[in-house]
Amino acid sequence: MKRSLKSNRKSNLEVAGIYLIVLVMFVVILYPLLWAVGISLNPGTSMFSAKLIPDNWSTDNYNWLFNDPRSDYKLWYKNTLIVASFNALASVFMVGLTAFVFSRYHFVGRKNTIYATLLMQVFPVLMGMVAIYLLLNLVGLLDTFTGLVIFYTVGGLPMNIFLVKGYMDTIPRDLDESAKMDGAGHLRILTRILLPLIAPILAVVALFTFMAPFMDFLTPRIILRSPEKYTVALGLFSFINDKMGNNFTRFAAGTILIALPISTVFLFLQRYLISGLAEGGTKG
């Protein structure tokens, strides 16, 4: 009886500890978000407010972003959506094909190439920024969306290829052999057999690559030069530098709106994402 009581007490303490950790993490994540929302609803320009949500809150900052002729926010938003969409499509296409080759075929140098791809994850992409800048300038892709998409796509390939290949390795090769016996070629095996099975992990790649241009400031800062080609992250910086008078409220409003397309893509891919992350964790 005493052992049972001690066991129940220990179990209750463990559950309470788990809920406490979850609560702390929830506050750590949610509080900055609520603070940013409160700043965006502040009618002034200061990032400091007596309350989390101001008493005299207004949506003037959001209206200014989209309706004021001095605001280029809609242009920045469109530019970012273009770069993010093409980055996601190009990444999924290249990662799917490359992971298929590494997972299903044996060729000379395959193992060394895989090791080299894995080793490339150790070094940050910014280490080669000077070389990439010179290369883009040499081929005339500096200050272009194409150059920016190429940088994002190529920079994310090592990690994404390794992720998708590991997922694809868990799919039985008997499916490939059965399809070959029925007369299916390499492309048909990929599109008809493997693609539906690896859709969850490709959805994860699509979401992460779509998010990258919205979150990144440094890469567009280096590659893009023309103000009409700025992305959201690069354009919003003008709200908090000396030229625009440190307007933190408009900056906060602009950052809050970044969550809309990412949330839309997340909801669209939700059923794939959940299974992809869960199966990826168990299969890895």
Distance CA 39, CA 48 (A): 7
Distance CA 242, CA 113 (A): 48
Q: In 10 A of CB 244, how many CB atoms?
A: 14
Question: What pLDDT does residue 114 have?
Answer: 82
| Domain boundaries defined on the chain | 2-60, 72-283
Question: What pLDDT does residue 30 have?
Answer: 82
Q: Do residues 160 and 95 make contact, with C-beta atoms less than 8 angstroms apart?
A: yes
Q: In 10 A of CB 48, how many CB atoms?
A: 8
pLDDT at 200 over 70: yes
Half-sphere exposure for 58 (CA within 13 Å, toward CB): 9
pLDDT tens for each residue of 8-19: 666 777 778 888
Distance CA 180, CA 20 (A): 54
Question: What pLDDT does residue 7 have?
Answer: 61
Question: What pLDDT does residue 231 have?
Answer: 94
Q: 72-283 sits in which CATH class? A: mainly alpha
What average pLDDT does this structure show over 90-99?
93
pLDDT tens for each residue of 163-198: 898 888 888 888 888 888 878 888 888 888 888 888
Question: What pLDDT does residue 243 have?
Answer: 54
Distance CA 100, CA 165 (A): 7
Question: What pLDDT does residue 28 have?
Answer: 81
Contacts of 88 (CB under 8 A, 6+ apart): 206, 207, 209, 210
Q: Do residues 53 and 32 make contact, with C-beta atoms less than 8 angstroms apart?
A: no
pLDDT tens for each residue of 22-42: 888 878 888 888 888 888 888
Distance CA 284, CA 282 (A): 6
Planar angle of CA 79, 82, 84, nearest 5 degrees: 105
Q: What is the DSSP letter of 189?
A: I
Q: What is the DSSP letter of 269?
A: T
